Amino acid sequence: MEKVFASIITIGDELLIGQVIDTNSAWMAQELNKAGIMVRNRVAVGDVWEDIWQALDEESRKSPIILITGGLGPTADDITKPLLCEYFGGKLVMHEETLQHVTYLFEKVFNRPMIERNRKQAEVPDVCTVLKNARGTAPGMLFEKNGTLFISMPGVPHEMKWIMDYHVLPMLAQRFTTGVIRHRTLLTANIGESFLAELIKDLEEALPDYIKLAYLPNFGMVRLRLTAQGTDAATLEAALEHHFRLLVQRTKDYLVVDEDLPMELVVGRLLQARNQTITTAESCTGGYIAHLITSHSGASAYYKGSVVSYDNAIKESLLGVSHETLTTQGAVSEETVVQMASSARSLMQTDYAIAVSGIMGPDGGSTEKPVGMVWVGLAWAEGVRAKKFQFRFDRKRNIEVTATQALNFLRELIVENSSGAIQP
């Protein structure tokens, strides 16, 4: 069975200058992968006629499926629709069903008058199949040329996702006989990528040619992903599971979780399974740990709240950090995070508390306390614990890695406590 490939073209100057992060192509790639379709290329182009045209030409020579997002709005810089009309040799016509939908949105939903610019959203090339967009005003459009499918969708993520779910993915499943692609991922901590590679060298060498291993280091941890491709789902999944379990067993001393989960969800599941709760006291991360935890549905079952004590006065007045500690040891110290964690746990009446204080940069560091230095404190019924980290990244990444490492520190404590080997 031949592999089926797709290319993704995202359009917009805002993508090229970094004003907007392209999440569309990542999501589409994941969904295509689930459907057994491999993404050959992901291309971002600006709102330039010649560049878009060239991208269409080049990608259509590589893939039988071209997914396009962006450039379908009502303003002058949105040139995708007229370009596609010319590219496929059509002319713009009014699509009555889309016009009725756009009119309904403005009159009944938006409660705003519809001007001519909005009305033109219902114009489409007469050589396309219109894909209704129930989430917005710009419809999707399907074109065919020399056996290649071109599917144009809005760049607004929730609109694109609706069109993909209700039109594109079902249509691709009917048109193409795809193979099977399966992934299994585990997460390790406290071991470097090269040492991990040595640990599992023989297992990697024993993999059959239809299973590939990828190393994905991030935030001081390493994910291992096995990807299997074939034609028979049952056979493929059995082989994948066998080799994945060998990896799990070999990495057991460093294993965080044998699923592709973010650290905050790993911790959340541990807490929920034990009917336990947590609070956070954050200084240098400014509430980022709280954000991560509460970004998942169901977090209210184990997360009580946070104190963002960015200023030392808040550390004193709300978290009971002594003035003497802040004066003699400083905000970035073991003593400070221990007091922050203990007070936060008492204040919120939780089983655990995390406290963090550090220097995220680029300014504020010193010889004794350089940029990237972070103290993390944990408090629980039987005691307190603190750990110092030294990171070396920019401000944003220092905040992100601090949050992940703090949560992993808590995860280790929860597991340790569950085993009965409590070491305050």
CATH number, domain of 359, equals 3.90.950.20
Judge whether 275 lies within some domain: yes
24-28, 230-234, 405-409: range with lowest mean pLDDT: 230-234
DSSP state string for 34-49:
HTTEEEEEEEEE-S-H
Mean per-residue pLDDT, 175-189: 93
CATH number, domain of 91, equals 3.40.980.10
pLDDT band with cut points at 50, 70 and 90 for residue 177: confident
Domain residues for 361?
Answer: 263-419
Structure tokens at 84: 């596609």
pLDDT at 179: 85
Please check whether residue 375 is in contact with residue 336, taking contact to mean a CB–CB distance below 8 angstroms.
Answer: yes
pLDDT at 421: 44
pLDDT at 194: 95
Structure tokens at 38: 């491999």
The reply to whether 204 and 299 lie within a common domain is no
166-172: which pairs have CB atoms within 8 A and are 24 or more residues apart? 166/132, 166/134, 167/131, 167/132, 167/140, 167/142, 168/67, 168/131, 168/140, 169/31, 169/35, 171/142, 172/32, 172/35, 172/37, 172/65
pLDDT band with cut points at 50, 70 and 90 for residue 98: very high
27-33: which pairs have CB atoms within 8 A and are 24 or more residues apart? 27/157, 27/161, 28/67, 28/69, 28/160, 28/164, 31/164, 31/169, 32/6, 32/67, 32/172, 33/181, 33/183
The reply to whether 194 and 318 lie within a common domain is no
The reply to whether 13 and 149 lie within a common domain is yes
Where is the domain boundary, 257, 290, 315?
257
CA dist 424 and 414 (Å) reads: 12
Residue from 269, 182, 286 nearest 227 by CA: 182
Question: What percent of the chain shows pLDDT beyond 70?
Answer: 98
Residues 125-136 pLDDT 10s: 999 999 999 999
Cβ contacts of 423 within 8 Å, gap of 6 or more: 416
- How far is residue 344 from each of residues 251, 336, 378, measured CA to CA in Å? 35, 12, 10
Q: What's the predicted TM-score (pTM) here? A: 0.81
Helix (H, G, I), strand (E, B) or coil at 119: helix
Mean per-residue pLDDT, 51-58: 98
pLDDT at 357: 98
pLDDT at 423: 39
Average pLDDT of every residue of the chain = 95
Judge whether 291 lies within some domain: yes
Domain count across the chain = 3
Distance of CA 424 to the CA centre of its chain: 35
pLDDT band with cut points at 50, 70 and 90 for residue 424: very low
Judge whether 240 lies within some domain: yes
Question: What percent of the chain shows pLDDT beyond 90?
Answer: 92
Q: Nearest-5° angle of CA 59, CA 65, CA 71?
A: 70
Burial of residue 77 (number of CB atoms within 10 Å: 0-12, 13-18, 19+): exposed
CA dist 89 and 91 (Å) reads: 7
Mean per-residue pLDDT, 67-74: 94
Judge whether 56 lies within some domain: yes
Helix ranges restricted to H, 88-200 = 96-104, 116-119, 157-163, 169-175, 193-199
Residues 392-402 pLDDT 10s: 999 999 999 99
pLDDT band with cut points at 50, 70 and 90 for residue 419: confident
* pLDDT over threshold 90, residue 353: yes
Residue from 91, 82, 42 nearest 65 by CA: 42
The reply to whether 123 and 198 lie within a common domain is no
Residues 266-321 pLDDT 10s: 999 999 999 999 999 999 999 999 999 999 999 999 999 999 999 999 999 999 99
pLDDT at 420: 54
Where is the domain boundary, 257, 285, 310?
257
The reply to whether 213 and 171 lie within a common domain is no
Where is the domain boundary, 235, 257, 279?
257
Judge whether 50 lies within some domain: yes
Helix (H, G, I), strand (E, B) or coil at 14: helix
CA dist 341 and 352 (Å) reads: 8
CA dist 71 and 156 (Å) reads: 10
In this structure, which amino acid lies at residue 157?
P
CA dist 195 and 251 (Å) reads: 11
The reply to whether 236 and 340 lie within a common domain is no
pLDDT at 422: 38
Judge whether 221 lies within some domain: yes
The reply to whether 16 and 117 lie within a common domain is yes
CATH number, domain of 229, equals 3.30.70.2860
Which phi and psi (to 5°) does residue 177 adopt? -95, 105
Other CB atoms within 10 Å distance of the CB of residue 244: 21
pLDDT at 1: 54
The reply to whether 133 and 110 lie within a common domain is yes
The reply to whether 81 and 152 lie within a common domain is yes
Q: Nearest-5° angle of CA 236, CA 242, CA 246?
A: 145
Judge whether 424 lies within some domain: no
Structure tokens at 188: 């390790």
The reply to whether 290 and 392 lie within a common domain is yes
The reply to whether 292 and 392 lie within a common domain is yes
The reply to whether 105 and 170 lie within a common domain is yes
335-341: which pairs have CB atoms within 8 A and are 24 or more residues apart? 336/375, 336/377, 337/375, 337/376, 337/377, 337/386, 338/377, 338/379, 338/384, 338/386, 339/377, 340/281, 340/283, 340/309, 340/315, 340/377, 341/281, 341/377, 341/378, 341/379, 341/384
